[in-house]
Structure 1
Amino acid sequence: MDTNLDDFKLRLAERKDVPLILEFIKELADYEKMLDEVVATEEILTESLFEKKAAEVVIGEYQNKPVAFALFFHNFSTFLGRPGIYLEDLYVKPEMRGKGIGKMMLSFLAHLCVERKCGRLEWWCLDWNEPSIQFYKKMGAVPMDEWTVYRVTGDALDQLAAEFNR
């Protein structure tokens, strides 16, 4: 898909892009100082993205070279009675930042929200990531300070799941 940025195009990821997607995930995790937490493999991503279709990925290409990606999926707002788009990851290679690529990626997702009649576009941002926080606020994003994210994973997830069959 053409964009308003010279030499920058977007395309939806295909199965053959799985190694690239994993590479982007690892680069993002390294930036976030969380590389040791990445357990995704090409096989897991293939199953999740292209067999179960649990999420979608858009690839950003500058001069036909992949330089950015966004991984997203639908959630649902009971208050709005509509789906939303949750952006799990947005990553732009460091050497390509400041060129409007991140904004174009978010603009595409906002366009997709409107096209799909979604009520909102949302994502999380690490508290220490001040450059991203300022970037998001410039685009009108509002932090949801009154909410706390809770997560159950690993052994705690297994234990909670086991309660169902007792």
Structure 2
Amino acid sequence: MSFTIRKATENDIPTILHLITQLAIYEKLEREVVATEETLKQTIFVQNYAEVIIGEEDGQTVGFALFFHNYSTFLSKPGIYLEDLFVEVEHRGKGYGKNLLAELARIAKERNCGRLEWSVLNWNTPSIEFYKSLGAKPMDEWTVYRMTEQEINDLAAL
């Protein structure tokens, strides 16, 4: 079996949506998926808000990583924020997740990024242990805050 990683193209949009949905099911958040093929096309391939790399085993997609740039004022450098990393359940344990993260690290290095960051659900012990095994450290002293569309609208109206 051969594993390869490539940059996603517009032709991958149905596959990307499928993988996002599978990740949401795994995280017990499928009710929150409102993405469509059209919104993915617009935001990833037209407006370039995010990038996607695809992992393939013998030419068949088995995983992906979706990421975008952020910025550290303290470092005065860009960073990469990994929004989603997912490998299909039946293909786990083969090192594909590690390979996708290693590719992101190479991209971060090429782009002179100061950080590679992501969030993980507190209950997701297998992922937490996996990330720690790669040298990632939890940012326990930070709390993520979020506003969704309604809160954004309310605040913008002030």
Taking structure 2 as the reference length, what is the TM-score of the superposition?
A: 0.99
Q: Which runs of 4 or more aligned residues in structure 1 lie more than 2 Å from their structure 2 counterparts after TM superposition? A: none
Structure 1: gaps (5+ residues): 1-5
**CA drift at 1:154:** 2.6
1:114 is aligned to: 109
Measured against aligned partners, the alpha-carbon deviations of 1:97-150 in whole angstroms (never above 9, x if no partner) come to 111000000000001111110001000000000000000000000000000000
Alpha-carbon distance between aligned partners in 1 of 2:151 and 2:108, rounded to the nearest angstrom: 34
Alpha-carbon distance between aligned partners in 2 of 1:108 and 1:63, rounded to the nearest angstrom: 18
Give the match's secondary structure for 2:17.
Answer: helix
Give the match's secondary structure for 1:150.
Answer: coil
Alpha-carbon distance between aligned partners in 1 of 2:14 and 2:116, rounded to the nearest angstrom: 27
Alpha-carbon distance between aligned partners in 1 of 2:146 and 2:131, rounded to the nearest angstrom: 24
Alpha-carbon distance between aligned partners in 1 of 2:94 and 2:45, rounded to the nearest angstrom: 31
1:90 is aligned to: 85
Alpha-carbon distance between aligned partners in 1 of 2:6 and 2:139, rounded to the nearest angstrom: 30
Question: Is 1:28 matched with 2:51?
Answer: no
Give the match's secondary structure for 1:70.
Answer: strand
Matched residue type, 2:3: F
1:39 is aligned to: 34
Taking structure 1 as the reference length, what is the TM-score of the superposition?
A: 0.94
Question: Is 1:15 matched with 2:42?
Answer: no
Question: Is 1:74 matched with 2:69?
Answer: yes
Give the match's secondary structure for 2:35.
Answer: coil
Alpha-carbon distance between aligned partners in 2 of 1:37 and 1:152, rounded to the nearest angstrom: 14
2:97 is aligned to: 102
Alpha-carbon distance between aligned partners in 2 of 1:102 and 1:17, rounded to the nearest angstrom: 19
Give the match's secondary structure for 2:61.
Answer: strand
Alpha-carbon distance between aligned partners in 2 of 1:111 and 1:91, rounded to the nearest angstrom: 18
| Correspondent of 2:130 among 128, 135, 138 | 135
Structure 2: gaps (5+ residues): none
- Percent identity reads 58
Give the match's secondary structure for 2:157.
Answer: helix
Matched residue type, 2:115: R
Give the match's secondary structure for 1:69.
Answer: strand
The count of corresponding residues between Structure 1 and Structure 2 is 158
Matched residue type, 1:59: I
RMSD: 0.7
